[in-house]
Amino acid sequence: MHDDRSITEHRLRRVLGERIRPAVHSRPVPLTVERWEAPGEPVPVAEALAAPYGPCAAGDAWGPAWGTTWFKVTGEVPADWAGRTVEAVLDLGFDRMMPGFQCEGLVHRADGSEVKALNPYNDWVRVADAAAGGERVEWYVEAASNPVLVEHAPTAEGDRLTSGDRPLYRLARMDLTVFEAEVWELVQDLDVLAGLMPQLGEDDARRYEILRAVDSALDEVDLGDVAGTAAAARARLAGVLAAPANGSAHRISAVGHSHIDSAWLWPLRETVRKVSRTTSNMLALMDEHPEFVFAMSQAQQLDWIKTHRPGLFERVKKKIADGQFVPVGGMWVESDTNMVGGEAMARQFLYGKKFFLDEFGIETRNVWLPDSFGYTAAMPQLVRLSGAQWFLTQKICWSQVNRFPHHTFWWEGIDGTRVFTHFPPVDTYNSDLGGAQLAHAARNYREKGRGSRSLVPFGWGDGGGGPTREMLARAGRQRDLEGSPRVEIERPDAFFEKARAEYEDAPVWAGELYLELHRGTYTSQARTKQGNRRSESLLREAELWAATAAVRVPGFGYPYEDLERIWKTVLLHQFHDILPGSSIAWVHREARATYEEVREELTAITLAAQTALAGAGEEELVFNCAPHERRGVPAGGAGRPRPAEQPVTVEERHGGGHVLANGRLLVEVDGRGLIVSAYDLEEGREALAPGSAANLLQIHPDFPNMWDAWDVDAFYRNKVTDLTAVDSLEVTGAGPDSCTVTVTRSFGSSTVTQAVTLRAGAKTVDIATEVDWHETEKFLKAAFPLDVKAERTASETQFGHVYRATHTNTSWEAAKFEICAHRWIHAGEPGWGVALLNDSTYGHDVTRRIREDGGQTTTVRLSLLRAPRYPDPETDQGRHTLRFSLAPGAGIGDAVREGHAFNLPERILRGAGPVAPLLAVDHDAVVVEAVKLAEDRSGDVVVRLYESRGGRAKAVLRPAFAVAEAVESDLLERPLAGSAVGAPAPDGGVALTLRPFQIVTVRLRRG
């Protein structure tokens, strides 16, 4: 037989696209359209309904960037359409290739209630299943003219303050039509078979059976009367669509989903509308398809619906009760997990799961994080402590170098906790359930022979939209279809239960899930990252002192509502396109303002509590919020600090520069303003490699291959410029308590001033860097070449640290050329090491070389600033103050202690006398992460602590108040079956037994 495959396949593409699809909506009758331009930001629905509308017609231009146009659409169903299914086609001017990234609309009835949303693949509205004829149509379409910002080119349209006012869209089609159901079904039949055929081998008989059936069906179609011949064409396809799947066919659990970025190429206020639009469509789809299941993560997004669309929220609650609408994830937002602090990560689960429990009575069992840019090794323990059992991710498939070896596996965290994890082999969280994607999932699945099933999240996402009726048609036809995986729409938990039952002994992946891409997100938008870190620290302070005052000071009210509201604001801004710096200018401009409001409010809460605790008096008190004693002031207490044993001295250095000393460290700053010696006087050991200079600022070109704000590619290292030229160098502060040497430099269009400070009694050298940054596509680093033979470095992560190799023996290690650390990174050899501390920098890199003298230089660098141009062309332009500190002779315990101290500055207040801590722990490795009052307003004190050094610890927690009961709790402050917490002893002490990196939450009921 002659091979005529290509002829039939081409015939199918043309006939389907040019004749059959257009015939789904027949007999168009134009609707009457009027318009009203909302001034400025979106307005309430009631205001729009009452607005004065003017004339409008198809073909009219509309919509400046970020504007809102309301269209009033009216018409009447023709009398001769009686008995026919009638739909309106409302095309705002969509580009079919970009759902979620352009104009969108939400259709309202005249009473303001929502009908459904409009987007490129959902531009229809059902008028009547069987029209009587004469039905009146009156709708109001809230149309958002969001600019298209996906071209990866610099643009001023990423902020309403800089965007233009030219219309971006042209109204296309606003018609009443007859919906030809049989034609629509034929389209779905042909669509599924067209997707399946190319996935079958050229020698597979099944492929040719489908080909001949399609050819025959197309013969039946009268191109002049598609509706009249659709049924006959479908009859020719019935046989190939009825053939059952092979017994060994891969099994797919299809879960409806719409990944909606809480901010990205649109601001937060637009996400509020995107969520409502998507949700309204999902509810409408559920009404028509009782088998449809839709999973929605991010409690914040459901809370937006509750706040802004209460009627819609009530419908959501009903569908949740019915089991069709499924809350998943258990977090406040789908947050970044690399840079979010430990306590903030715990609060993501606390407030996320609490919302689902309070509003719906739902205990979510899975953590749903498909799109974050890598996953912390602390996550498994947090997942289990939140009460969840499963974890789902997707983004790891984006890694550039190494293919991840598993799709279903046990993920083991730094403490040894394991969580059952799935990584969908479909390699997208926006599946359309087409034949190519399903075949890819089956071929790609790494667990063949052991497991047989995977999960596919389907529906338009990123910018929202969700599943469509066409996707449900594909699912139904591929439920049991020869040549295709078996597809079943079901809830995520059903998939996980089945997957674990068949693959209990799945392989184990230990440690972080490092994404070999998007490493620039550790650095982009430095002010956003600084706002996050400082907000986390301020929240710690506010809760600690407010809890202490609430227990100690009669009448002091713990600010429950204020703290919860502020926490949720900070958690929202940890979303995985806000904190990583990958959103448009508008988002980061608002974030900076929000963080300033958070700072002011938390400072006021802290001051009120400290004032209540200090009492009336003139004694100068230092409040220490850090989890370790410093300068004689206990952790969580206030008092007069112990003076240092030796003052700081400063001398001129031979050859230029200055020498600072305090009896513990001797620091030389040369005539270039670089640190050329950091000598540990107590150990007799030099921290810096021979002949090298530390605090060396370096500039690299920074033009990644694609994702500007997201990526740094390894080739950036090929060219480097050391910043050694000096504008000025002087001693700017010299006294017994501290000495500072200040250097100013100019480079490119920028200037930098660095103050190098040694304090009395300290074993750290503090560096405050003020940069007036006006570079473009450049990367600023600060290098510290250390005389340390370190095979690995330790980087602080949530509730512990992770080790990473300094060598590049394998492609896995080489791919980690840029890494994330929280407050510190440590390089050491047995008996001695060095820590590099920071107050808001996350990106680092570490390299090693063997010198001619046989020693190893381990160079640790902080990534200070970048200057990408997309999606914010002015990223990080302007003034920044960045602080970091070198700690020679530091062990891991020192790094933990100094890292907290560096991020939690002392506060000075006058009062009556010392303030004793609310509680204390007698083991230096056990760190108190949070002290607060319980969320249920019972007045119980909640303490979260962890083992910080990677060893076992037995400690005693000593509350300074009577304790009736001490209970180990989960992250939601519910009793947890465990053995880490003992009953209170007669003296009030509570015994703790912790394994390495264990997190323990203790709930103390006051006696």
Amino acid present at 108: H
DSSP state letters, 769-809:
EEEEE--SSEEEEEEEEE----SEEEEEETTEEEEEESS-S
Contact 526, 868 (CB under 8 A): no
Q: How many angstroms separate the CA atoms of 96 and 102, rounded?
A: 10
Q: Tokens representing 550?
A: 């609430």
Report residue 595: phi and psi, to 5°.
-60, -35
Q: Tokens representing 804?
A: 């990473």
Q: How many helices (H) and strands (E) does the chain have?
A: 18, 53
Distances (CA, A) of 749 to 593, 746, 771: 26, 8, 11
Contact 628, 924 (CB under 8 A): yes
**Closest Cα to residue 804, out of 786, 791, 787?**
791
CA dihedral 344, 348, 349, 355 (to 10 degrees): 140
Q: How many angstroms separate the CA atoms of 508 and 410, rounded?
A: 5
Amino acid present at 766: D
Q: How far is CA 934 from the centre of its chain?
A: 27
Give me the catalytic one of 123, 261, 371, 766. 371
Reduced DSSP (H G I as helix, E B as strand, rest coil) percent helix, strand, coil of the chain, to 5:
30, 35, 40
Which residues lie closer than 8 Å to 537 by C-beta, 6 or more apart? 903, 904
CB atoms within 10 A of CB 470: 18
**Cα angle for residues 547, 550, 555 (degrees, 5° grid):** 160
- Upstream peptide bond of 22 is cis (omega within 30 degrees of 0): no
Q: How many angstroms separate the CA atoms of 489 and 499, rounded?
A: 15
Contact 383, 366 (CB under 8 A): no
Contact 171, 93 (CB under 8 A): yes
- DSSP one-letter code for 556: P
Amino acid present at 15: V
Q: How many angstroms separate the CA atoms of 377 and 206, rounded?
A: 46
- DSSP one-letter code for 715: G
Let me know if 371 is a catalytic residue: yes
Hunting for tokens 């009825």 — which residue is that? Answer: 242
User: What residues act catalytically?
Assistant: 371
